């Protein structure tokens, strides 16, 4: 048992404390309490809690010139403490999650290089997940891209034409639609349709003990579940991103052509858009989709697998969603800084 800190004071106090503790321990023995260490720890914690009361802390302030200032500080801190606690807890939680995602991402990259990783079970899960991501997200992406085409592309073409800035159509569409809007919307579709599904599946596997059963059978859940899903999300995100970009531009062109605003052929229109793209765009835009998909895949798996005993769908799914949104934003901001 650890009493050393208390016994380093005066010998009389030391003896008094020792007697008090010994008396307490003998009482506990009589009561039949076995875990004395834990019991004493609880009592100490309670005593610490009591000393942290506001009135006790104010009394402890020594008289002096700046005592009143010190007391104001203690009162302010006392009332701010719950808010600070919440802010600190959330910040630490998200930071821990981000570090966890980075660590898992590194793990996925390292394991992916090894040829023994890509066994039949991993390939099976990869194909299944890729099918879910691409086929499941295709129609959502198509309709969102159509709406984006009608709302963003056609309006941009119309108003830029009205202002006599037709030449700016390409650069503006590239900047707004391809670089910024498309990755966020595709990320949201990916997260909503497949990320949350992955969170649910992984949490059910973790809570149901199937992850442990897999390990018992010699099947590493990280290799069999996280790794293939991360890559399926990556390829799926890139595919859906390309579908989104092409469809939204096409739909925008169709509407403006039908309204008579646009006179050029579709090929000229696409050619203008491509001409407005820089070399960096050709690299960074696909990379943004790829990194975003990868992070959503890893993040969803990690959120699902790290489920706590007291987690329920009502707490876990919002957690998965907010974490996914955070990852989308982080990736988006990082790539925006690069541009």
Closest CA to 265 of 280, 285, 284, 250: 250
Using rule CB under 8 A, residue 140 touches other proteins: no
Pick the piece of the chain touching other proteins (CB under 8 A) from 91-99, 214-222, 233-241, 262-270.
214-222
Using rule CB under 8 A, residue 106 touches other proteins: no
Pick the piece of the chain touching other proteins (CB under 8 A) from 141-149, 157-165, 217-225, 265-273.
217-225
Cα angle at 56 between 55 and 58, to 5 degrees? 65
- Cβ proximity to other proteins: between 98 and 219 the closer is 219
- Cβ proximity to other proteins: between 122 and 185 the closer is 122
Q: How far apart are CA 118 and CA 158, in angstroms?
A: 51
3-state helix vs strand vs coil in the chain, percent to 5: 85, 0, 15
Among 201, 264, 281, 311, binds other proteins (CB under 8 A): 201
Q: Report the 10 Å Cβ neighbour count for 317.
A: 16
For residues 150 to 189, the per-residue mask of contacts with other proteins, x marking binding by CB under 8 A and - elsewhere, is ----------------------------------------
Alpha carbon of 109 to those of 66, 105, 114, 216, 316: distances in Å?
A: 58, 6, 9, 25, 27
Using rule CB under 8 A, residue 209 touches other proteins: yes
Among 20, 92, 119, 127, binds other proteins (CB under 8 A): 119
- Count Cα neighbours of 240 within 13 Å in the Cβ-side half-sphere: 38
Q: How far is the CB of 210 from other proteins (least distance, A)?
A: 5
> CB–CB of 54/75 below 8 Å?
yes
- Cβ proximity to other proteins: between 155 and 215 the closer is 215
Using rule CB under 8 A, residue 204 touches other proteins: yes
Closest CA to 323 of 301, 338, 339: 301
Instruction: Name the residue with tokens 């914690």.
Output: 45
Q: How far is the CB of 290 from other proteins (least distance, A)?
A: 25
Using rule CB under 8 A, residue 113 touches other proteins: no
Residues that bind other proteins (CB under 8 A): 116, 119-121, 124, 201, 204-205, 208-210, 212-220, 224
């Amino acid at each position: 048992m650890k009493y050393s800190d208390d016994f380093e004071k005066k010998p009389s106090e030391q003896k008094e404390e020792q007697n008090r503790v010994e008396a307490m321990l003998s009482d506990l023995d009589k009561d039949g309490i076995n875990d004395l260490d834990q019991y004493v720890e609880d009592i100490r914690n309670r005593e610490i809690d009591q000393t942290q009361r506001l009135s006790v802390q104010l009394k402890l302030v020594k008289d002096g010139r700046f005592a009143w200032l010190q007391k104001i500080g203690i009162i302010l801190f006392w009332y701010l403490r719950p808010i600070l606690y919440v802010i600190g807890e959330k910040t630490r939680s998200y930071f821990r999650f981000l570090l966890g995602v980075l660590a898992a991402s590194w793990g996925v990259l390292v394991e992916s290089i090894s040829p023994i990783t890509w066994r039949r079970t991993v390939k099976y899960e990869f194909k299944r997940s890729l099918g879910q991501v691409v086929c499941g997200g295709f129609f959502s992406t198509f309709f969102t891209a159509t709406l984006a085409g009608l709302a963003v592309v056609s309006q941009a073409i119309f108003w830029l034409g009205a202002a006599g800035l037709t030449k700016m159509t390409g650069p503006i569409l590239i900047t707004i639609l391809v670089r910024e809007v498309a990755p966020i919307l595709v990320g949201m579709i990916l997260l909503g349709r497949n990320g949350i599904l992955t969170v649910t599946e992984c949490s059910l596997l973790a809570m149901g003990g199937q992850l442990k059963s897999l390990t018992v059978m010699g099947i590493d859940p990280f290799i069999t579940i996280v790794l293939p899903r991360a890559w399926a999300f990556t390829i799926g995100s890139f595919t859906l991103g390309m579908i989104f970009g092409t469809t939204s531009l096409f739909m925008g062109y169709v509407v403006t052509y039908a309204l008579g605003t646009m006179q050029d052929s579709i090929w000229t229109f696409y050619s203008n858009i491509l001409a407005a793209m820089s070399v960096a765009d050709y690299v960074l835009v696909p990379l943004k989709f790829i990194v975003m998909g990868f992070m959503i895949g890893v993040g969803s798996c990690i959120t699902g697998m790290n489920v706590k005993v007291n987690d329920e769908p009502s707490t876990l799914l919002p957690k998965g969603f907010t974490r996914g949104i955070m990852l989308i934003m982080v990736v988006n901001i990082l790539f925006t800084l690069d541009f």
